[in-house]
Amino acid sequence: MKIAITGGTGFVGKQLTDELVKQKHDVYILTRSPERHQDTSQVRYVGWLKEEYHPEQELPQLDAIVNLAGDSLFGYWTKTKKDRILSSRIKATENVVDLIKQMEKKPQVLVNASAIGYYGTSTTDSFTENTTASGDDFLAHVTKKWEQTAKAAESYGVRTVYARFGIILGSEGALPMMTMPFKLMVGGKVGTGQQWMSWIHISDVVGLILFAINNNQIEGALNAVAPNPVRNKEFSQMIAKVMHRPYWLPAPSFAMKTVLGDMSMLVLKGQHVIPEKATLQHYSFNYPTLEDALENIL
């Protein structure tokens, strides 16, 4: 297959590219700075999001597009940062839809990144793809608008999937920050420890993206999470167990809010999300349990 990826130089994008190359597919990475990268026999870097670039003239007929582009959630959430988090996702997705519009032969599928933040936060409710109501906080607003923007691809006959990522576990992303207190022998629960953590191993993120590309039955929301979410207390205890470190010093909510500001919601709040669609379509998770996932990574 011929697959274009935006955000292909990021954490998920690099892992996805490696797997696609391993499976002998051709990958076209859309980037603002193609000159910084070296093309290979299977990977080509194509300029986009600048006036001088015309990806529609450089890309071949594509089978799929995977849109992972967007400013990182990590960092103190000033108004400027929040604006960048939203605008980067909307602009990239609008450009992807515009690219599809200009293509004479459309790709079969668009897999557009999203997040389980769509559902809002809760310590009591569970969410599946059948949950239609979105939350009312900042991340819910971002993901809802993100998905609405991507939905425009459907008008061109392109099957569109919104991959709602949970907490992605791997050598990059959130996990290194989570494990740091344990490395320093001061690890423990965060806040009350009762907040749900719907996590997923990076290999299953890649696996579900490929599953969505190859399975014509999948469209709309797709919860990219493992089937066994845990509360923060259990998550922290499992890190301590796998790393052979003590579990004893909790990080109080007020301290996290002081240090992280509004971004603290990422660690102090959560949601219990079930990958119902993946399960019904018989996707086989590489790491369905947290202990196996952490053992593999750590």
CATH number reported for the structural domain that contains residue 15 in this entry: 3.40.50.720
pLDDT of residue 4: 98
Is position 292 within any domain?
no
Record the tokens describing residue 257, joined without a space. 């809010």
Is position 161 within any domain?
yes
Residue 154 — very low, low, confident or very high, per pLDDT cuts 50/70/90?
A: very high
Burial of 118 (0-12, 13-18, 19+ CB in 10 A): buried
Report d(CA 188, CA 204) in Å as an integer: 27
What is the residue range of 50's domain? 2-168+198-225+272-286
Report d(CA 3, CA 27) in Å as an integer: 5
pLDDT of residue 44: 98
Taking the CB of residue 122, how many other CB atoms lie within 10 A of it?
15
Mean local confidence (pLDDT), 23-52: 97
pLDDT of residue 211: 98
pLDDT of residue 116: 98
The contacts of residue 173 (CB under 8 Å, 6+ apart) are 11, 202
Per-chain mean pLDDT for the chain: 97
Share of the chain above pLDDT 90, in %: 99
Please compute Rg for the chain using Cα positions: 19
Is position 191 within any domain?
no
Residue 181 — very low, low, confident or very high, per pLDDT cuts 50/70/90?
A: very high
Is position 265 within any domain?
no
Is position 174 within any domain?
no
Query: What are the CA-CA distances from residue 253 to residues 144, 151, 167, 173 (Å)?
Result: 27, 37, 19, 22
Look at the pTM and tell me if it is higher than 0.75: yes
Report d(CA 165, CA 180) in Å as an integer: 23
Is position 188 within any domain?
no
pLDDT of residue 241: 98
Question: Going along the chain, which residue ranges are E strands?
Answer: 2-6, 26-31, 43-47, 64-67, 109-115, 126-127, 159-165, 167-169, 196-197, 199-201, 220-224, 230-231, 272-273
Taking the CB of residue 136, how many other CB atoms lie within 10 A of it?
10
- 3-state SS class at 168: strand
Is position 297 within any domain?
no
Provide the number of structural domains found in the chain: 1
Record the tokens describing residue 50, joined without a space. 């600048």
Is position 181 within any domain?
no
Report d(CA 76, CA 272) in Å as an integer: 25
